[in-house]
Structures are given as C-alpha cells and as structure tokens.
A and B are shown apart, each in its own frame.
Chain A
Amino acid sequence: DAKTTQPTSMDCAEGRAANLPCNHSTISGNEYVYWYRQIHSQGPQYIIHGLKNNETNEMASLIITEDRKSSTLILPHATLRDTAVYYCIVTGGTSYGKLTFGQGTILTVHP
C-alpha cells in the first residue's frame, strides 16, 4: 500500500470547516483513499473513501487532486465531538481489506 503523510495535529473552531490534508504521492491506479477516525480509544470509525472523483456523504467530503497524489478530508461544520485522530489510508489493488494505520492527524475542535 502507498505511504501517506499527514500533519501531526490541527486545530479548528467549532462550527467552522475542518480541512485535513493527506499526501499519497506513490498511490497506484487501482488504490483507494480511505479516511477513518478514532475518538479517544474507541474503535476506528469509517468516514469516507474515494478513487479519483470527489465524494460526499453525511459525515464529510473528500477532495482528491487530479493527479491523485494528495487529498483533503473536509468536515463542513466541525463540532466538539469531531475531536479525534483522523487517519488517511491508501489501500486496494492486491492488498484490499487490511488497513495499515499511520499516526494520523490529531484534530482538536475548540469552542
């Protein structure tokens, strides 16, 4: 699976959009970008995934650059409950299924 690079931590004000970047410059053509988050020590929670088109669901939006070397997870109106570690994971191709977690980005939403 391609390696990903994320900032260690980010802050966001409650009610504002949180934009979490991820670099995955070695991504291959059949690999997907997945985002998960982990609130405190709970089990990781799936947020969204995409291949090359931008995606939106009830939780977030995913913007993938045209060259697919980076992506941004957008939480449109962050709340205090969105404080968590956010993981960008590239997977798929011949290694579908298994998730390889990095250190992720610690997002702190403050009042």
Chain B
Amino acid sequence: EPEVTQTPSHQVTQMGQEVILRCVPISNHLYFYWYRQILGQKVEFLVSFYNNEISEKSEIFDDQFSVERPDGSNFTLKIRSTKLEDSAMYFCASVWGTTSLQYFGAGTRLSVL
C-alpha cells in the first residue's frame, strides 16, 4: 500500500536554528498538509497546499513557517528560527482530490533545546 514518508523521524535542534522537515506524499496525490501535535495535546492543522501554493493556513503558521514543493515528489516545512514551543510531532498528509480522506506520515519529532 502506498504511504506518506517523513524524514527525519527525530530532529534535535538549538533554539534559533532553522529546520527543514521533509515529506514524500503519495505519488498521484494533489493536496498536501502539515499538522503538528504538541505532547499531550490535540493534532492541529498548520497549512494546506495545492497547485504550488498555500490554499489555507492556521494562526499557528506565521512568518517563521514556510512550505515548498521543490520538485515533483518532496513537500517540505521550514521553520526559520525555532523556538522552544515549536517542539512537537509534525505530521505530513496528502490526499488525491477534494475529500478529507487523508493519508498521514509517521511524523517527525522536533525537539528544540
């Protein structure tokens, strides 16, 4: 079964450093998402991406965050200057069409020290 792949599985960084989280969505999918989950809290929507542009973003997704689909397969989330409160699991998801049947990756655990 096709799956969404995220790398790395765990990223440790110092406060103020830039991080890039990588995702390879399922190949024929057209809509891409990033969510995050702070430990012990609920899963929160960050951003959706379609046709090479952001289609929706949450209040969390401020100027420190950016997304990119640099080639036909990768989908990345960049945090420019990490803060302690950015420590969380980050999940990438993709979907083929205008449906909410999303396929999630296993996540990247980001630890900001």
- A residues with a Cβ closer than 8 A to B are 32, 34, 38, 41-46, 49, 87, 89, 91-92, 96-104
* B57 closest partner in A (C-beta): A98
Please classify how large the interface on chain B is, using the bins under 10, 10 to 19, 20 to 34, 35 or more.
20 to 34
* A48 closest partner in B (C-beta): B101
Residues of B contacting A42 in the complex (Cβ-Cβ under 8 angstroms): 106-107
Tell me the number of A-to-B contacts counted with CB atoms below 8 Å: 65
B98 interface residue (CB < 8 Å to A): yes
Which secondary structure dominates chain A's binding surface?
loop
Residues of A contacting B4 in the complex (Cβ-Cβ under 8 angstroms): 43
Residues of B contacting A46 in the complex (Cβ-Cβ under 8 angstroms): 101-103
Q: B42 contacts A99, CB within 8 Å?
A: no
Q: A41-B107, A42-B107 are in contact. Are A97 and B31 (CB under 8 A)?
A: yes
